[in-house]
Amino acid sequence: MKTLPLASIALACLATTSLAADLPTRDSRPQEGAVNKFVWEGAYIGGHLGGAWGVERDTLHVFFADVFEVSGATGGVHFGYNWASGDFVLGPEAEFDVTNLKGSRPTVGAVGFLAIRASWLASVRARLGYALGATMPYVAGGVAATSATETLSLFALPTSQAKTLTGWTLGGGVEHAFMKNWIGRVEARYTDFGQARNFLQDNAFRSGFHDATVTVGLSYKF
């Protein structure tokens, strides 16, 4: 009879179909193994620490250029917001730092010294980054300001004058998200604070400084 062979063929077809349904398909494997990208968009706030090294420039002595080195530690807070467009990340960032950046040199004839000291640094910048998963290199630039105190001491009679200097800043760094909301960063930046006019002990001159900073920081993204 043909009934038994036909039944056997039907059962074999059903078993093959069931086994094929249980096997993973080519389309499902990438979906199961897909890695979720870090979401960079959103507000963040953080802190950072580092150092600053630079040069003071002044016109105290008319006949030759006056320059001397300045350096110090720096630390502060930063906050900003990121917008994402594909893998590009753009947004504003502001920061405020407390610093002990300072330097000095003798005056001509060694009758005294000229010194500068900055107590705080601040900047507002635009950042542009490129997201590589949880890592993002970026560049940043904008305006910067500082409070610089110039001190001129002649014959052991020091006189000081504080000025707010404004200028520009440009740099970049790398951020890495090592947890859902926590981001580490390393950043290097050059800042030129320009010059301001001073009048100390009957000497009118201009002075200011530029510096390079290197900082490491930690941010929390909301």
Is 16 part of any domain? no
- Note down the domain range covering 120: 40-221
207 contacts 57 by C-beta, under 8 angstroms: yes
> What CATH number does the domain containing 169 carry?
2.40.160.20
pLDDT tens figures, 101-118? 999 988 876 678 999 999
Per-residue pLDDT tens digits for 38-60: 999 999 999 999 999 999 999 98
Mean pLDDT of the chain: 86
Question: With pLDDT > 90 as the criterion, what percentage of the chain qualifies?
Answer: 72
Q: Which of 139, 147, 155, 156 is nearest to 190 (CA)?
A: 139
92, pLDDT greater than 80: yes
The pLDDT, as a whole number, for residue 2 is 44
Residue 26 is predicted with a pLDDT of: 46
Q: Is residue 119 part of a domain?
A: yes
Backbone angles phi, psi at 156, to 5 degrees: 65, 25
Work out how many domains the chain is built from and give that number: 1
Helix (H, G, I), strand (E, B) or coil at 22: helix
- Asked if residues 157 and 201 have their Cβ atoms less than 8 Å apart, the reply is yes
Quick check: 69 pLDDT over 80?
Answer: yes
Classify residue 35: in a domain, yes or no: no
Burial degree of 46 (CB within 10 A; 0-12, 13-18, 19+): buried
Q: Are 184 and 162 in contact (CB under 8 A)?
A: no
